Structure 1
């Protein structure tokens, strides 16, 4: 792991000391699973279950907070099985899908979520015209029920297509009272008012956290990083972890520690579990 400053090292040490009261928040794509061309094949890192179980024994709770539909993340991550094991150890695994619109936990084993936002159906009806106009008719459109994601990764020039599409999709979303969430060669359109930062703040309050770590990789994680910074000002031990890649680097400037993709995230979590266990021994 690469700390961005000496303060980052000090924050990590403080988090180890506060581990028993710490909540671990984790993005899914690019953090627990590698980024792949086909989103339906983004399976969780093979070591994740083992690492999360070991970590759960040392911390207050673990929460996966993702833009994916909750059921999809559960299936791709094998997280129901992981949740069973964590629950047997007397701890809790939470999963928040669609930026917090959906909720599942290892205690309450059903996905709870709202109806699709008003305007989404009419947005999707107009979307093909916008894609054709931007010469991106072959972009992969992923219907997430509560949102829709437009992926340019499979197009011949994915970054150029992304830049062409972004302003047009912003305009179309605004006309239907929706907002966009730009990501790594993907533009997601969803309802306003719910984001990962709100989930972080609510978890910290509900669980009376004494510490909070959040690991993410993309623009959709900025609000979570900002929420963690606010918790730090309230006196909590905190750590912001950037799962870095060549495609997206803007989180690096906000992070306390930078690691290399899901491998690096799991190495850090493994080390955190070991250090916290050693401190208790």
Structure 2
């Protein structure tokens, strides 16, 4: 993107797509940043690669691959302490154990914090409408936002995640970054402008998404435990409470609906199928857009920190690697294929990391 003051919410989708940022092919860390051990391709390889989800085509082999992919992204059992897990931790060390080294290497850089919501700030729960964060976590996020520009980047509807977090000093990027709002309380690094919603690159898809939402509600009535969530610019079909034996039926029902909507694409996360406009925009694009809006798009003195737990967060981790600057942290107890280079096991560790980050900044400020 070249125009830092562009208001995408008023542009046509074609113009919005053109604003997607082209990122460089440099290494993930700047020379001063401590590097964890990584494989040649940037992540610890899994024994079996997962085929990408496709919305077209058929056949038993494709259906079986689709179901296998759903299972692989939605493990039903916690991984045991195996040699593979120990090796994965070596390649993706704890951001807490590396905290001092990371902060020492960040000297002279402006930190910008990006946080996923579900599985990162709140636990994964059976009912997505009850994914509440604790008051202690909210205070940790509030403290971080006092010192650093902070954004929540979620697949949730922006209004819904805002209602969960309840902090007006944050940026909110809902619908996987398709709906971005500025803080209503100004941050010193916030760009001037009186529009709180300033990035909606898929507005023209809203009638189509609402239409598909109604169709899926009818289809999912016949699959016990399935839940369809309207996240405004995307749809989520949750199968956390669906018997695993009928995951294939659920997936095929969704795929069948989308055959009539070729401009929508299907992806998946932890026991959820995501339906989004097929435009070049994702959480990584949202990260780039926010960095540009803060004036950091061409800066070498910025350290973006992105913390997330799901497959959709990989788009942001990839952007950090290509930028050659930043810190990607995957929240997971089990080994996963990832472009992140550090890890935290669960939301409680995320909270502790955020607390340490705020305390580190506070202690580094001059005393009056």
Same fold (TM over 0.5): yes
Q: Does 1:32 align with 2:117?
A: no
Larger strand percent: 1
Q: Which structure is larger by alpha-carbon Rg, 1 or 2? A: 2
Distance 1:153 1:5 in 2: 27
SS of equivalent residue, structure 1 residue 119: helix
Q: Please, which of 208, 212, 217 is the counterpart of residue 119 of structure 1?
A: 208
* Distance apart, 1:161 and its partner CA: 3.7
Partner in structure 2 of residue 152 of structure 1:
239
Instruction: Give the corresponding residue for 2:327.
Output: 239
Deviation at 1:97, TM superposition (A): 0.8
Shift of the 195–4 alpha-carbon distance from structure 1 to 2, 3 Å rule, reads same
1:29-56 per-position Cα deviation (integer Å, ceiling 9, x unaligned): 1111111111111112322232123223
Residue 72 (str. 1) matches residue 160 (str. 2): yes
Assess if the C-alpha contact under 8 Å between 1:178 and 1:189 holds in 2.
yes
Provide the rounded CA distance (Å) in 2 between the counterparts of 1:141 and 1:7. 35
Matched residues, number? 256
Q: Secondary structure at the residue paired with 1:208? A: coil
- Specify the alignment match of 1:204 in structure 2: 291
Within the alignment, does 1:188 sit opposite 2:278 as a pair? no
Residue by residue, what CA displacement relative to the aligned partner does 1:163-196 show, whole Å, maximum 9, x if unpaired? 5433553453253021123111111212122210
SS class of match (2:156): coil
Q: Which residue of 2 aligns with 1:172?
A: 257
Gaps of 5+ in 2: 1-88, 185-193, 297-301
**Within 1, Cα distance between the matches of 2:164 and 2:319?**
27
Q: Give 1:205 deviation, angstroms.
A: 2.3
Q: Which runs of 5+ in 1 are unaligned?
A: 84-92
SS of 1:12's equivalent in the other structure is helix
Distance in 1 of aligned mates of 2:154 and 2:286: 10
Partner secondary structure for residue 124 of structure 2:
coil
CA RMSD of aligned residues (A): 2.9
Q: Tell me by how many angstroms 1:271 deviates.
A: 1.5
CA 1:119/1:137 → structure 2, altered by over 3 Å: closer, same or farther?
farther
CA contact (8 A) 2:234 2:277 kept: yes
How has the CA–CA distance of structure 1 residues 218 and 160 changed in structure 2, closer, same or farther, with 3 Å as cutoff?
A: farther
Counterpart for residue 62 of structure 1: 150
1:213 counterpart (295, 305, 309): 305
More moved, 110-119 vs 95-104: 110-119
Secondary structure class of the residue paired with 2:147: coil
Is residue 2:179 matched to residue 1:102? yes
Matched, 1:44 2:133: yes
Are the equivalent residues in 2 in contact too, given 1:116–1:147 (CA < 8 A)? no
Cα distance change, pair 31–5 in 1 and its aligned pair in 2 (3 A) = closer
The more displaced of 107-116 and 262-271 is 107-116
1:55-79 CA deviation, whole Å, 9 max, x = no partner?
Answer: 23333x1011111111111111112
